[in-house]
Chain A
Amino acid sequence: MTGSAVTVGALAAVTAQLVLVVGGAPLLAGLMRQVRARLEGRVGAGVGQPWRDLRKQLGKEAIRPDGSSWVFTAAPRVLLASTLLIAAVAPFLSTVSPLDGVADLFAVVALLLLGTVALAVAGLDTGTAFGGMGASREITVAALAEPTILLAGFALSARVGSSNLAALVEGMLTAPGQVLSPASLLAAVAFAVVVVAETGRLPVDNPATHLELTMIHEAMVLEYAGRDLALVELASALRLTVLLGLGANLFLPWGVATTASPLPLLGAAMLFAVKVVAFGAALAAFEVFMAKWRLFRVPELLAGSFLFGLLAVSASFFLA
């Protein structure tokens, strides 16, 4: 294969990955609602319901609250763009990507935070008490989750000697025994807590609540309507998928293609979908057993996960 053919193949892989993640993210959200409905004895709206919601919202009128500025309109677009960028650079299907080296693990974390910030600023821009409240809570949780996710990343990259995502996945692939190493397991626990906190799942936040006073994420987006709301909802489904996908490939990287040829890519795509669906279903099932915690117990949870992250780093050094 010539160099240009490799590049074309790799670009095709990136495109396929983007299409898979964007197309699959609402389905994952639908699946998680479906799992929850079944466990509650209900029938559920079907896996495709989020896509139907999105299609309808995209055709509806958008509303900007009086007194808000360009920030309110720009925020959903920046949020979606930052998440799409992560979906493009992360090695979900193949470790050979022309975009590898554009953003490493820390850049990905910062991009996630950028999305959170965009929405929080927009929540403040609405000028409502609920918008400000949601922004304040979301930012508090994000600020406390940041050390955990970076320490988990530290634990993973300390072993490989690089924080580039492809290098992390390849390092795990070449040494499969590492999956069960204490450092890896502790980092996985820390990472799982962060996923729950960052995506606003139980017990940190209740994505299905109608009660504004208990909201975190939903309170920020109360003012969005129509296509703006569609972008926000698509982005939050994408964030969940991207985080679960990162977790799946960083901690259980099997199946990720190490070339850019079509057949391994197809297999990688299927395995990736299976892993993310399994993680999503597990998370949804876990939520059935949980009640939402008091807001001021959430920092305790995050402090606990920080400790796991620190232990993971120590383990990667002392038990190496």
Chain B
Amino acid sequence: MNLIAAGLGVVVAGAAAGAATGALAPARARPLATGLLTTTVGLGGVLAGAAALAGQAWSMTVPGILPLGAATLAVDPLSGAFLLLIGAVTVAAGVYSVGYTGPGGRHATDDDAAAGAAAAPGAEPAGQRAVDAGTGHVEAAASRTAQAVLPLFVATMLLVPAAASVSTLLVLWELMALTSLVLVLAEHRLRRSVRDAGLWYGAMTHAGAVAILLGLVVFAAAAGGESFAALRAGAADLSRGTRSLVFVLIFAGFGSKAGMVPLHVWLPRAHPEAPSHVSALMSAAMVNLGLYGLIRVGFDLLGGGPRWWGLLVLAVGGLSALYGVLQASVATDLKRLLGYSTTENVGLMLIGVGAAGVFAAEGNRALAGLLMAAAVLHAVNHAAFKTLLFLGAGSVLRATGLRDLDRLGGLAARMPITTALVAFGALAAAALPPGNGFVSEWLLLQGLIHSLTGTGPPTVVVAVSMPLAVGVVALTAGLGVATFVKAFGVGFLARPRSAPAAVAVESPPSMRAGMALAAAACLGLALAPVAAAAPLARVLQVMPTVRDGAPLADSGVRLQLVGIAGSMSPLLIAIGLLVGTAATAALARWAGRGLPRRVAPVWGCGGTRLDSRMEYTATSFAEPLTRVFDDVLRPEQDVVVTPYTESRYLIESVRFRHRVPDRLEARLYPPLLGAAARWGRWSRPVANGSVHRYLAYGFVGMLAVLVVVRLSG
């Protein structure tokens, strides 16, 4: 029996059962039932993905299910990698959702957002309101619609990488967009910003879908068939202009789903506003499908392309990485920070894919393979730690009702397990050893630095672009460290900065289990990335211009590159750190002669009334960075001094506001939106409500189609 078919069968059956349960089950049973069925869907994806990565292949055609023809599904190792990734994220998020959508949490509302309006408005201040579970208040994330749509969303996500024809892909892609939009809007009654986010998300995702549609339709028309097999066969005969047109269109389309700059604007809005397990699914799983689409069409169906494709992807990737991490490093909303960090990591993946494209075009298969492997591995690593971090942010949100780092703190004592798990996730996200993010960034850097020592002398383009790429990756890594030191240090450590944070309690077991699953995945990827060598080699075989061989040697504990001198052992580094820390602790204990460690009041330079308002906040932590990069970030601040009416020399109040807006969004989008609105107004007379006119439009349109068909046929 084919395991892929079995896995996908579980996916479809689980989704149907989950949707039915979500829609029909009583409110009390809903979180557990849909959570477990969603987990089952995820397990199906993991099964199918693992089987595909182990070398199984599978395909199926269901005739007549779609309006334009048959639905075609096929799974190869590339699909398998993403099936496994999405399935694993789903498992963690599904288990987590049992507790998250259950009763007893606090969720951010607009109610006292007004009270906290002094906080940065760009990062919507998340107020808190205790929700009384006993009064039958239905949690928004546990509503009938949200619970019924969740299994459908994960199932469509899992089927996208299995799609093997243009129409199948587009239908699934659209279903995925719609179901995720419904989930983003789950809490729209609680906060106004949710509606805004939904609008942005809906508009951007559909603009992206249109670009993909155009690209693939042009491709299919030129190749003479819409199944992926036909596209693959026909790609070679396409003219250079057509190929490039297809590539640019699908790059923009899939890129907008991946959240690359400047099409990222929906991401830092929608990911924070969705319920947290949905945020994890979107940020850790769904954005990767953008990467999947790019690799599938660009490297597999089109079979690689000229060097400038790679350079384009590389440049956009570098821009995304830098811009994303800069915004993340100054963000104060925890989930918005994680959203921007997703843009950053997608940027790093795009750097890998782009550089792989450059080297594939130059015929340097060893480097192309290494860089592509680094990009795919980074996608997997990012999925693992971003799931953990979004789920952790959800735990904090549920316990305190807060997303604003400036008002958090003191959670290490109140939520010890969540804090420890998030600490590990933050370590991974900061790309520091012994986290898993470090491994893929190391591979990426290895690929880039060996660009000058390839087989022949490097071209000038490579010699200029690769050092810059290394600089970008390094600066991104440095700022990423600052971002996550801030997120973890300010959000979880020291003393609580607000009353809700002071009364936080640890999350229910199912939420902790969901986070622990994600953390276990991080740990496994961090210590034994060597195990990924063989599956990655199979993934690379899908791409004709990238080398067919393993980029990593399966050499025990050491991560050894093949054909390139470079090795590193994450396992031994972790062991070394562990042994060193234990030895140091033992030495210090021995030298301390058993003197107990005293807990003393904080040293306040002799002052005795230190309170939590004197602690450093996320805003103050990021202030030096804001100043260093103020040419790029352009922070806005204003000071309003209100004097008494009696005398202007006596001050009644001083109000200081500081925010760092998304400058790209503020500069780029208003003109576009304005143009769209003007066009709409201009064309308004065309649609004046007269049925006669509409019939005439229909007739003319039909005639035009017939003429075109006649002429082209």
Q: Do chains A and B touch in the complex (CB under 8 A)?
A: yes
Q: Taking CB as reference atom, which chain A residue is nearest B438?
A: A110
Q: Taking CB as reference atom, which chain A residue is nearest B452?
A: A158
> Taking the complex as formed, is B600 at the interface, i.e. its CB lies under 8 A from any CB of chain A?
yes
> Taking the complex as formed, is A46 at the interface, i.e. its CB lies under 8 A from any CB of chain B?
no
Please name all residues of chain A whose beta carbon is closer than 8 Å to the beta carbon of B610 when the two chains form the complex: 127-128
Contact of B603 with A222 in the complex, beta carbons under 8 Å: yes
Complex Cα distance, B483 from A142, in Å, reads 12
Please name all residues of chain A whose beta carbon is closer than 8 Å to the beta carbon of B475 when the two chains form the complex: 143-144, 146-147
> Taking the complex as formed, is A12 at the interface, i.e. its CB lies under 8 A from any CB of chain B?
no
Q: Taking CB as reference atom, which chain A residue is nearest B572?
A: A102
Contact of A111 with B433 in the complex, beta carbons under 8 Å: yes
Contact of B453 with A136 in the complex, beta carbons under 8 Å: no
B358-415 residues with Cβ-Cβ distance < 8 A to A are 409-410, 412-413
Question: Distance in Å from the Cβ of B481 to the closest Cβ of chain A?
Answer: 6
Question: Distance in Å from the Cβ of A88 to the closest Cβ of chain B?
Answer: 7
Partner of A58, one of B486, B592, B624: B592
**Interface extent on B, as a size class?**
35 or more
> Taking the complex as formed, is A289 at the interface, i.e. its CB lies under 8 A from any CB of chain B?
no
> Taking the complex as formed, is A223 at the interface, i.e. its CB lies under 8 A from any CB of chain B?
yes
Complex Cα distance, B431 from A227, in Å, reads 30
> Taking the complex as formed, is A204 at the interface, i.e. its CB lies under 8 A from any CB of chain B?
no
Contact of B595 with A61 in the complex, beta carbons under 8 Å: yes
A213-233 residues with Cβ-Cβ distance < 8 A to B are 222-223, 226-228, 230-231
Please name all residues of chain B whose beta carbon is closer than 8 Å to the beta carbon of A149 when the two chains form the complex: 474
Partner of A314, one of B463, B567, B578, B602: B463
Known A59-B593, A78-B577, A316-B452; contact A164-B412, beta-carbon cutoff 8 A = no
> Taking the complex as formed, is B61 at the interface, i.e. its CB lies under 8 A from any CB of chain A?
no
Query: Which stretch (A64-72, A239-247, A280-288) binds chain B?
Result: A64-72
Partner of B493, one of A124, A146, A160, A306: A124
Question: Distance in Å from the Cβ of B477 to the closest Cβ of chain A?
Answer: 6
Q: Taking CB as reference atom, which chain A residue is nearest B484?
A: A117
Q: Taking CB as reference atom, which chain B residue is nearest A167?
A: B565
Please name all residues of chain B whose beta carbon is closer than 8 Å to the beta carbon of A89 when the two chains form the complex: 576
> Taking the complex as formed, is B621 at the interface, i.e. its CB lies under 8 A from any CB of chain A?
yes
Contact of B432 with A114 in the complex, beta carbons under 8 Å: yes
Complex Cα distance, B412 from A126, in Å, reads 12
Complex Cα distance, B438 from A111, in Å, reads 10
Known A77-B588, A228-B588, A314-B463; contact A150-B445, beta-carbon cutoff 8 A = yes
> Taking the complex as formed, is B236 at the interface, i.e. its CB lies under 8 A from any CB of chain A?
no
> Taking the complex as formed, is B143 at the interface, i.e. its CB lies under 8 A from any CB of chain A?
no
Complex Cα distance, B479 from A163, in Å, reads 23
Complex Cα distance, B419 from A228, in Å, reads 23
Known A65-B603, A146-B478; contact A151-B628, beta-carbon cutoff 8 A = no
Contact of A140 with B603 in the complex, beta carbons under 8 Å: no
Number of A-B contacts (CB under 8 A): 286
Please name all residues of chain A whose beta carbon is closer than 8 Å to the beta carbon of B98 when the two chains form the complex: none
Complex Cα distance, B585 from A230, in Å, reads 12
> Taking the complex as formed, is B22 at the interface, i.e. its CB lies under 8 A from any CB of chain A?
no
Contact of B591 with A58 in the complex, beta carbons under 8 Å: yes
Query: Which stretch (B149-157, B178-186, B215-223, B612-620) binds chain A?
Result: B612-620
User: Could you tell me how many residues of chain A have their Cβ less than 8 Å away from some Cβ of chain B?
Assistant: 94
Contact of B592 with A226 in the complex, beta carbons under 8 Å: yes
Complex Cα distance, B627 from A295, in Å, reads 11
Known A129-B616, A154-B470, A310-B471; contact A161-B450, beta-carbon cutoff 8 A = yes
Question: Distance in Å from the Cβ of B328 to the closest Cβ of chain A?
Answer: 12
Q: Taking CB as reference atom, which chain B residue is nearest A60?
A: B595
> Taking the complex as formed, is A24 at the interface, i.e. its CB lies under 8 A from any CB of chain B?
no
Contact of B600 with A63 in the complex, beta carbons under 8 Å: yes
**What would be 24 A-B contacts, judged by CB atoms less than 8 Å apart?**
A62-B597, A63-B600, A65-B599, A77-B585, A82-B577, A106-B445, A106-B446, A111-B433, A124-B621, A125-B493, A126-B494, A126-B602, A132-B615, A132-B620, A139-B482, A150-B471, A150-B473, A150-B474, A153-B449, A154-B467, A158-B449, A161-B564, A222-B603, A230-B591
Spell out B's residues near A (CB within 8 Å): 329, 409-410, 412-413, 419, 423, 430-433, 438, 442, 445-446, 448-450, 452-453, 458, 463-464, 467-468, 470-471, 473-475, 477-479, 481-482, 485-486, 488-490, 493-495, 558, 560, 564-569, 572-573, 576-581, 583-585, 588-589, 591-593, 595-605, 610, 612, 614-617, 620-625, 627-628
